[in-house]
Structure 1
């Protein structure tokens, strides 16, 4: 009798356990593997195998640092509902180690929580830890303090770079270790650097990175990622090579096979859209072309990762740039024309992809999560203004130097230099004449005599005329770092500010007073300690403007329309939303509802030239005139 009772009790417990798992909606292949795993992702033949079972990666890219932490799970659930089983993310070194030896993995940089959420939702993870990531991110994710070394050779085994990378991995990888598949986590593969075949300056570098990963306990499948032209130089023995493209070519997969033989085919980056530059158009990629290519890749039995599935936003000063024939900085939005919009809304691409991927499953996909509502809160009530010249005392003590000093080598931020924002150079001149930069302004500067603007200089416009007035006057050069190059062979040449001499009447200027204006949250919050002028009072030169945005009881996502303003940066409750610029294409800035408060929200605008008449909170984005990517 007791034996029968024990049997019934065991059966009852199993039934209750099954019901519990079903209730949590985790009784799927992901969860079963979480409970029964033995061997991680393998690429020994033409098909991936996970724990002895055939496996295909259906992935999408989303970067935790481009999405507010409060929205991570929402975006992941939308991935799952689209039929994806894997999430890929880069790790941004420059955010995690903003000053040498000082690390931050808190708040929106809490990578451990991000990886844990992926496991909770039921997504595997391909981690791309760099150290270089490209990603249209400032300096490809490398910290700017590396450039204080005048001999620095980034992405090589140069002693200064290699040692810094080792210290970074010493901090990062122990945090990642427990999230590997073999330790019960979601990470099934780790990328060795990123697109190194397009750079390939050091034959020993990739082996150095691989060894650094393995030595710190990375045991999951290692892979590389390159485009067609870089794959031969970027691949390495014992590491799976993957390929990046937007348009499939007949030879791509056979070319990949010729490099590594009978291995699984993985498209690490299938570009679902493209990014935008200031002064250009908003790029879109035809939805039917995208679906056709994805369908073809899936039909070939290959694995695929959508770059991007959800782009998000280049908050702050973090957007990168390209500099081939000309310098072009990236806009604030990283919408990317992806299946999920910048604010996490569904696009037509999402639903067509969902239809394609649903055919890979025997069971119906989970329903797509309900979208949150966008709000239009109306006009921002602008009340006060404050000239830049009136707040210089709030910046760090100015540095005096006979010669110009670039941003990164200024003696500020505990010896780490200035990373982002603006740098003001002041000197005294006599008279006027031709002012020349000879390419030493990086990237754009407004020139003033006292407080009167006399024009702009940049890469193209390297001369202007200073009006002739007898006597001594103060010359001010306000230089903006518009974003460091994130891709290409110019990556070592990304010091900002004045990187060499500037000239008046062919004579190099000397004896500078240099202000670091990185406009971090401490500086922006300190503006409330000085007297602001009413808007009725005249404000000269670059200035800050302050206003209030009134929000109801439950703050919702919104956008700020900057139409009518010239160029600058917007802060909401001390958080940097990013840059705006009248040359477009982007005219609105995304404001996450999680950054807003019920009641009064403080809007601070730094405008370089001339304020617009108003700022409006609107419920729809405008990213500019569209241009189709061919």
Structure 2
């Protein structure tokens, strides 16, 4: 009897985890389905008002507060990605504990009366390392990601089964909060492969659906999301179709095609972008609150469901921030996203404007109270990081490669960190050029003397070398940043990814030396490696042997401490430091880089303690000063660049007077893609678009996206594209020339008011191409602001 009572008590306790704070997300068995023009929750019309939040970007101790903040906005659902690579950081080793306990997060949402939408990938994007895919997939060099590659699909099935083991018991059909599950993610921006998308759907169905008493398969509503311009490429008949678009978009236009194909289907914007993400070396991104609130008000007035991406962005702690493409544009640590709830969990002016509007759609009920923050904000006086050991103290393995010119991180079984590549050189009596493809930031030394850097962000591939003697040592220190998270370039190997070549002139002949046989040392990025580095004596002799300078102010590990009488959230300022990673009390806090715009790191108070707190910085460049302090506000918009991001060097401006345009005319007014076919194919490396007038009569021109077509009518790759020249760019608004090929239809190049006509944008295609047509997309907002009327197109 005692055992029976004990089991009953335990069962009741377990059940209590699923009991909601109110009846909005009832724990009894229910259903969520698609009706005519609406979603149906237990047979009644239901508008999804979802808040996108990401559990790994929030300390577990703050989950409850952030969910309550979303509820205080009038939301009835939280939407989450499931990040494969944080749950399976090495093959077959899964972690769903602590900050990775996604089931606990879902139960907490239900406890707060919220439903849940789960987006389990396998690919998620989210400005997250490799879009959520695990780096170790790249150990199989010929793998085809996001396709029906046998090994990729084998690993996807294992991962999705593990996720379902955690979450399938929490579907609404089982009395849990989960109402919808997404199939893949924005696949139309990657390719067209219905067979692959169908297989992902089948994998999810096999794990999330079960037969009911009538023998019918039941489970959460399955949906797929894409952009209005590409959702038909992979749309499956048995899935719900949802659209993704940003604030200010023409909402009727976004759903027009869906309405034509499925007039009775419910409408949902599964990602309504509240702001945007920040990239190293560019201004902090913001979006007007007015546009966000008006768009959501319009959708709700028309019965359109939504998920606000992001409602609370949080932080990409450690090495989890990704990078965007074309080119290489790594994301900063902060994922503030200019969201209504800021990075550290407090309400912004956007929050209050949105909350006021949402009151109209709260069924006449009083809005939930705004919860008190778990902790206050504290400052920390300046303190020095006085302990130092050279970066070589972090070396864990050494490889001698005589067969090839390099080894990538993946070939050395390292996912994140840095590597030292070193090689004894032959005599090269003249100046020369070292060329290599370094992923991602390389510093180059000869006999321990700094020669220069190769920065992938700037598309740099070479550095000038002085004359060298036989036996001089070349050393290349490479730090990897986040892997690309969007587009075809997600197959992003790290380290040296191609030949290493020295080019020089000998006896009036051009000579190229392909260097092979590097000695390579790996330096993993993790706290344990940092601690071990301090536990061993400073290896100055090894630094010399490897050709790396050592000593304070150089690359290495730095450690210091600060004391607290009171614990709270703070923002540690690292603007005097170079580039690298920070660990506080054993927690990986994220990347720092002096170029900005982010100069502080958010430090959650729940990870601090009264008394002594430890800070370790791994700086791969070296600091100007080893000082740190804690602010009460973040610094997210302070650039420290060598030069402006603008592309207005007059020497790069072409003389169009001597050229004949390959096409000229007038674009139509309004939203949507337009194609200009050339009379005959044109050959050249540079594409120039000249605008002499706009449809709205102003002088502020804008272009959202551009593509060019080859002779077969197919779009050519934009991966090698760079901006050659722009007569005017709104740098403060991050509306620079690169926005026309950043794979994002909601961002755009825009000129500055008063710049005057004609406006000119020149794109370097990377090599000579044969082009038959140009595709042009104006801004997505109502009326397509800044859309070009009269144009000329040149290829040269």
State TM-score, norm by structure 1.
0.90
Correspondence 1:470-485 to 2 at 5 A: 470-485=469-484
Structure-2 residue corresponding to 1:28 = 23
- What is the distance in 2 between the residues matched to 1:388 and 1:206? 45
Task: Give the drift of 1:99.
Answer: 1.0
Selected match of 1:442 from 439, 443, 465 = 439
Alignment of 1:409-558 (within 5 A): 409-411=410-412, 417-432=413-428, 433-438=431-436, 440-459=437-456, 460-492=459-491, 494-505=492-503, 506-531=512-537, 538-539=551-552, 541-552=554-565, 554-558=566-570
Change (3 A) 1:491 1:509: same
Q: How far off is 1:302 after superposition?
A: 0.5
Could you tell me how far apart the structure 2 residues matched to 1:605 and 1:595 are?
Answer: 17
List per-residue Cα deviations over 1:144-166 (Å, max 9, x = no partner): 11111121111011112111111
Contact 2:425/2:469 (CA < 8 Å) preserved in 1?
no
What is the Cα deviation at residue 195 of structure 1? 0.3
What is the deviation of 1:574? 2.3
Root-mean-square deviation (Å): 2.1
Distance 1:377 1:267 in 2: 42
Pick from 589, 599, 603: which aligns with 2:611? 599
Structure 2 distance, partners of 1:137, 1:163, is: 22
Q: Describe the superposition over 1:489-516 as per-residue Cα deviations: whole angstroms up to 9, x where unpaired.
A: 2223x11101121112321111111112
- Residue 570 of structure 1: CA displacement? 1.3
SS at match of 2:572: strand
Report deviation, 1:308. Answer: 0.1
What 5-or-longer segments of structure 1 have no aligned partner?
A: 1-20, 412-416
1:188-203 equivalent positions in 2, closer than 5 A: 188-203=179-194
Distance in structure 2 (CA, Å) of the matches to 1:162 and 1:179: 25
Residue 261 of structure 1 deviates from its aligned partner by: 3.0
Q: Summarize deviations over 1:353-386 as a string: whole Å, max 9, x none.
A: 1111122222101210123311001112321111
Q: 1:305 aligns with which of 307, 326, 334?
A: 307
The structure 2 residue matched to 1:268, chosen from 255, 267, 270, is 270
Map residues 4-83 of structure 1 onto 2, 5 A cutoff: 26-30=21-25, 33-35=26-28, 37-38=29-30, 40-83=31-74
Q: What residue in structure 2 maps to residue 627 of structure 1?
A: 733
Unpaired runs of 5+ in structure 2?
A: 1-15, 210-218, 504-511, 541-549, 639-731, 735-746, 749-796
Does the 8 A contact of 1:407 with 1:419 survive in 2?
no
Q: For 2:516 and 2:229, locate their aligned partners in 1 and report how far apart those are by CA, in whole Å.
A: 46
State the SS of the aligned residue for 2:519. Answer: strand
CA separation in 1, counterparts of 2:420 and 2:460?
A: 19
Distance across 1 between alignment mates of 2:66 and 2:41: 25
Structure 1 residue 466 displacement after superposition? 2.4
Deviation at 1:231, TM superposition (A): 1.1
User: Which residue of structure 1 lines up, in the alignment, with residue 230 of structure 2?
Assistant: 230
CA contact (8 A) 2:20 2:111 kept: no
Q: Secondary structure at the match of 1:344?
A: coil
| Shift in Å, 1:191 | 0.3
- Specify which of 374, 378, 382 is matched with residue 375 of structure 1: 378
Q: What's the CA shift for 1:282? A: 0.3
Say if 2:421 and 2:518, in contact at 8 Å, map to a contact too. Answer: yes
**Cα deviations across residues 258-294 of structure 1 (Å, max 9, x unaligned)?**
2333111011000000001111000000011111111
Higher relative contact order (CA 8 A, sep 6+): 1
Matching residue of 1:348: 349
State yes or no: 1:335 paired with 2:336: yes
Q: Does 1:182 align with 2:173?
A: yes
Distance of 1:126 and 1:186 partners within structure 2: 9
Cα distance in 1, alignment partners of residues 59 and 162 from structure 2: 23
Match of 2:290 in 1: 288
| Cα pair 1:198 1:229 within 8 Å, conserved | no
How is 1:248-259 mapped onto 2 (pairs within 5 angstroms)? 248-249=249-250, 250-259=252-261
Between the two proteins, the alignment pairs up a number of residues equal to 591
Paired with 1:559 and 1:177, the residues of 2 have a C-alpha distance of 38
**Aligned in 2, Cα 1:358/1:213: closer, same or farther, shift over 3 Å?**
same
Contact 2:501 2:513 in 1 (8 A): yes
Task: Specify whether residues 397 and 538 from structure 1 end up closer, same or farther in structure 2 by C-alpha distance, changes over 3 A only.
Answer: closer
**Structure 1 residues 565-584: aligned runs within 5 Å:** 565-584=577-596
Asked if the contact 1:551/1:599 (under 8 Å) is kept, the reply is yes
Bigger Cα displacement from structure 2, 330-339 vs 475-484? 475-484
CA contact (8 A) 2:192 2:234 kept: no
Q: Partners of 2:568 and 2:539 in 1: how far apart?
A: 31
Following the alignment from structure 1 to structure 2, what is the Cα–Cα distance between the partners of residues 519 and 194? 29
Contact 2:188 2:233 in 1 (8 A): yes
Q: Give the TM-score taking structure 2 as reference length.
A: 0.72
Matches within 5 A, 1:96-107: 96-107=87-98
Question: Partners in 1 of 2:405 and 2:605 — Cα distance?
Answer: 42
- C-alpha separation between the residues in 2 aligned to 1:107 and 1:396? 30
